């Protein structure tokens, strides 16, 4: 895999505290040394690698070993391709090992609690790959743009998020936060396609244009949120996503590298193998 | 697909109230008109069909239409291949649309409730494909064999299960219950393999041989449970599983046929398409 990437996405896409979102070219393919066809091959061959790593993570947790896990947070403007990441990247992993949750507008019950309450309830268990389609970041994104909370409350949330994620990491979770970054023009094209295809109508909502009309505000809210919450423990990656094929290989590789970073191995037998062979033979 | 199956598995594998489990050849391939290689092809080409059907189911639920869903219940003796079904059949579906849950030995909290309590908490939401790896049937299987409840209580549970599943079906769930049926000899081979391969140790537990030594009791408990709870609304399918390739195509086809039986279509637009095109163009 080494030759596929001139720079691994964990370096090439890492967001720093002085991120300027407008400086990130949404059509660029940082670190990737190939075209669309090569990306398709890379994605295909990465499926097994990812799947095996995830099985090792899962296996460890099932035998009282490493109880750690991985949490992938996906945030993006509408149509940026969160769903495609879930289907084409996460889809390679055994469903048994995945905990996926899509966060919608909070319910009354959820609003009656601290904003992290509903997030904690959906954290992945030991050995699992958790995937958040939207997340606690909505509370500093739409929360800020739509003024759902006062600004000083939004400010407090950045710090609360950093503290929360530090706690997750301390408890053995690898946290990977991905913003899929598309351009205003690309979104228009993709929304238009949804309005042309009856098999895509269900993905469209008139509210999408309302949100789109606040594009600049959202970009600003993303930029600030990422600046304030991208830490060494729980980094943000800004993934150019106008080219879906790039976003998919990039996120796949981020996951693979994160799992490799956990230094996983098959757990040893927690029983006497020879004794069990004898018992089985006698059965 | 028609030529692949001489009889669809929904007919060929359907368990009736006079099921004799010992009469089902675990190496047989009922209804399937091909060999292992053909089965691999069939499985591959069925992935897209299953995935698209599931997306339609999901789409309907997202737009206020059909709120129905599908529940696949997997039961089997150890090593029969539940995990392989999840990985290779369910794995074709967008993770976003799958709610998978593996039921373990009940916790103290769960034991303090009715046996269906923990089951209800894991039922799939609207538009989802729910997958139960073990289920409420454990309470009439290990529950009976290990005498975890008195026999008259086990008897009551059969009726409670039928009532419970009738309720699910009435609320729009398609219920598919699958017993993966392997032979005593095949299980020995598969357990032995787990003891030979360090990457499989984690799947083995000394308790597996204890359960194996109660094989006849378990077969009897399965037979009775299936006889008592296989209804037209929520039928049981006994899937010969010594040949993994057969079990996988069979369950895939059961799912595909169940979804086709729901007569799914892409939901219509719940907005004025032309108006939205204008709004988008102006944005």
What parts of chain A have a pLDDT lower than 70? 1-2
Which residues in B lie closer than 8 A to residue A83 (C-beta atoms)? Answer: 94, 96
Enclosing H/E stretch for A267: none
Q: What is the C-alpha to C-alpha distance for residues A50 and A93, in angstroms, rounded to an integer? A: 7
pTM for this model (two decimals):
0.95
Instruction: Please tell me which of the candidates B96, B202, B283 has its beta carbon nearest to residue A100.
Output: B96
Chain A interface disruption, residue of B276, B277, B282, most A CBs within 10 A? B276
Pick from A189, A180, A94: which is nearest to A133 by CA?
A180
Q: What is the DSSP letter of A278?
A: H
Chain A interface disruption, residue of B50, B89, B98, B283, most A CBs within 10 A? B283
Over residues B187-242, the pLDDT tens digits come to 999 999 999 999 999 999 999 999 999 999 999 999 999 999 999 999 999 999 99
Position B3 scores a pLDDT of: 75
CA distance, residue A6 to nearest chain B CA (Å): 31
The values of phi and psi at residue B226, to 5°, are -70, -45
End-to-end Cα distance, chain B: 46
Over residues A237-247, the pLDDT tens digits come to 999 999 999 99
Q: Do A280 and B195 make contact, defined as CB atoms within 8 angstroms?
A: yes
Which residues in B lie closer than 8 A to residue A74 (C-beta atoms)? Answer: none
Query: What are the angstrom distances between the C-alpha of A163 and each of A2, A98, A141, A228?
Result: 35, 25, 18, 12
Pick from B36, B21, B7, B72: which is nearest to B181 by CA?
B21
Over residues A122-154, the pLDDT tens digits come to 999 999 999 999 999 999 999 999 999 999 999
Position A1 scores a pLDDT of: 47
Interface of B with A in 203-242 (CB under 8 A): 203-206, 209, 212-213
DSSP A151-206: HHHHHHHHHHHHHHHHHHHHTTEEEEEEEEE--HHHHHHHHHHHHH-TTTGGG--T
Cβ-Cβ contacts under 8 Å between A and B: the total is: 122
Q: What is the C-alpha to C-alpha distance for residues A61 and A10, in angstroms, rounded to an integer? A: 25
B64 reaches A (C-beta below 8 A): no
Contact between residue A50 and residue A94 where contact means Cβ atoms under 8 Å apart: no
- The residue of chain B with its CA nearest to that of A64 is B202
Contact between residue A80 and residue B117 where contact means Cβ atoms under 8 Å apart: no
Contact between residue B44 and residue B55 where contact means Cβ atoms under 8 Å apart: no
Enclosing H/E stretch for B283: none
A183 reaches B (C-beta below 8 A): no
DSSP A107-151: PHHHHTS-TTHHHHTT---TT-EEEEES-GGGGGTHHHHTTSS-H
Enclosing H/E stretch for A37: helix A36-62
Bridge partners, residue A100, by sequence = A131
Contact between residue B248 and residue B43 where contact means Cβ atoms under 8 Å apart: yes
What parts of chain B have a pLDDT lower than 70? 1-2
C-alpha angle A137-A243-B91 in degrees, rounded to nearest 5:
70
Position A201 scores a pLDDT of: 96
Which residues in A lie closer than 8 A to residue B276 (C-beta atoms)? Answer: 195, 204, 206, 209
Over residues A112-121, the pLDDT tens digits come to 999 999 999 9
Position A58 scores a pLDDT of: 96
């Amino acid at each position: 895999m080494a030759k596929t990437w001139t720079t691994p996405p964990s370096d090439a896409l890492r967001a720093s505290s002085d991120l300027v979102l407008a400086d990130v070219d949404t059509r660029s393919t940082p670190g990737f040394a190939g075209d669309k066809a090569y990306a398709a091959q890379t994605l295909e061959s990465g499926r097994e690698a990812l799947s095996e790593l995830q099985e090792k993570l899962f296996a460890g947790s099932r035998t009282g070993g490493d109880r750690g896990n991985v949490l992938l947070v996906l945030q993006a403007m509408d149509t940026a391709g969160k769903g495609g990441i879930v289907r084409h990247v996460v889809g390679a992993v055994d469903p048994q090992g995945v905990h996926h949750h899509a966060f919608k507008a909070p319910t009354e019950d959820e609003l009656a609690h601290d904003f992290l309450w509903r997030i904690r309830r959906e954290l992945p268990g030991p050995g699992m790959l958790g995937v958040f389609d939207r997340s606690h970041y909505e509370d500093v994104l739409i929360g800020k743009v739509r003024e759902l909370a006062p600004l000083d409350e939004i400010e407090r949330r950045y710090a609360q998020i950093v503290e929360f994620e530090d706690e997750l990491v301390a408890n053995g979770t690898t946290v990977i936060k991905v913003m899929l970054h598309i351009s205003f023009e690309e979104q228009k094209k993709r929304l238009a396609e949804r309005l042309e295809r009856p098999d895509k109508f269900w993905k469209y909502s008139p509210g999408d244009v309302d949100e789109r009309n606040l594009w600049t505000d959202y970009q600003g809210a993303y930029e600030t949120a990422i600046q304030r919450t991208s830490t060494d423990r729980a980094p943000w990656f800004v993934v150019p996503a106008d080219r879906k094929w790039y976003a998919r290989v990039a996120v796949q590789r981020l996951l693979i590298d994160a799992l490799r970073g956990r230094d996983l191995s098959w757990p040893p037998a927690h029983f006497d193998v020879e004794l069990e062979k004898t018992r089985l033979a006698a059965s």
